[in-house]
Amino acid sequence: MTPMGLYVPLITPFDEQGRVAFDALTALAHEVLDAGASGLVALGTTAEPHSLDGAEQARVIDAIAAVCGERRAALLVGAHTIEALRALAERPEITAALCLVPPFLRPGEEAVLAHFARLAEESPVPLVVYHVPYRSGQQLSVGTLRRLAGLPGVVGIKHAVGGIDADTIAFLADVPPGFAVLGGEDAYISPLLALGAHGGVLASAHVATADYAALIAAWRAGDVTQARPLGHQLAVLSAALFAEPNPSVIKAALHASGRIPTPTVRPPLLPATPAATARALRYATELTRTLA
């Protein structure tokens, strides 16, 4: 299955004692699917997986997989090593694994290709490459992107390069058949869709989920009249939701609307400031009024 449409990389809500609030996580999963998301992402960066122990990570996958199984929705799971990928076996709800380009080491493009070839050979599920060079430190040329797309078992890419660069334009001009490009740079999702992306993995879509789903549908249908103004409005909202390290502002907005029990993030993150929270809530409210 080629992943397309809107995927929401779910946050991990915490309760007043700092434990994972699994009931809130399940409710949030249903809410975004009800609002038009095509699928969910478990243990993406937005889920703070660095702060979850092994048992918590497994239970997070269990909770989200149960919802996706019930709803027949697509599910991506963050897994970056052969060991983590093998642990996804016997989970029929999982559509694909979201695998980060090896961070920090900057191993080179040939090594990245060899790395994903090894992962895909060992993985029980297809792979979606997570390309985010300003975090990983590893640039990938358009030629390498096309070679990645040609690897057996690699079905897509979460493309988050910090904007729209020349390689992005060249790649989207000639995407290999059966390969999905999912935008991962929330504020730039509208122009990426206009260039031909197939959807997005968008943390901002915790808020105004239906509007992000409508944006993707409009660009995919070629409805520029609807897509262009909606894209401008959602870019402003996304910028506000990412004004401080993700997912602090998103969690604050969800808590303010009563959808999760606390706005807590785990170290090394800090909670969103009141100013950033107020700004994000203001833009969300303005968006609702504009589109009403």
Confirm if 94 and 65 have CB atoms less than 8 A apart: yes
**Burial of 59 from C-beta contacts in 10 A (0-12 / 13-18 / 19+):** middle
Residue in 7, 158, 188, 212 annotated catalytic: 158
Residue in 7, 130, 212, 283 annotated catalytic: 130
Residue given tokens 């988050």 in the structure block: 160
The torsion angle over the Cα atoms of residues 29, 34, 35 and 41, rounded to 10 degrees, is 30
* 34 vs 219: CA distance, rounded Å: 21
207's torsion region: left (phi>0), alpha (psi -120 to 50) or beta?
beta
Active-site residue, 7 included: no
* 107 vs 130: CA distance, rounded Å: 16
Tell me the residue type at 83: E
Direct distance between the N- and C-terminal alpha carbons of the chain, in angstroms, rounded to an integer: 35
- At 214, phi and psi to the nearest 5? -65, -35
Active-site residue, 251 included: no
- Which positions are catalytic? 130, 158
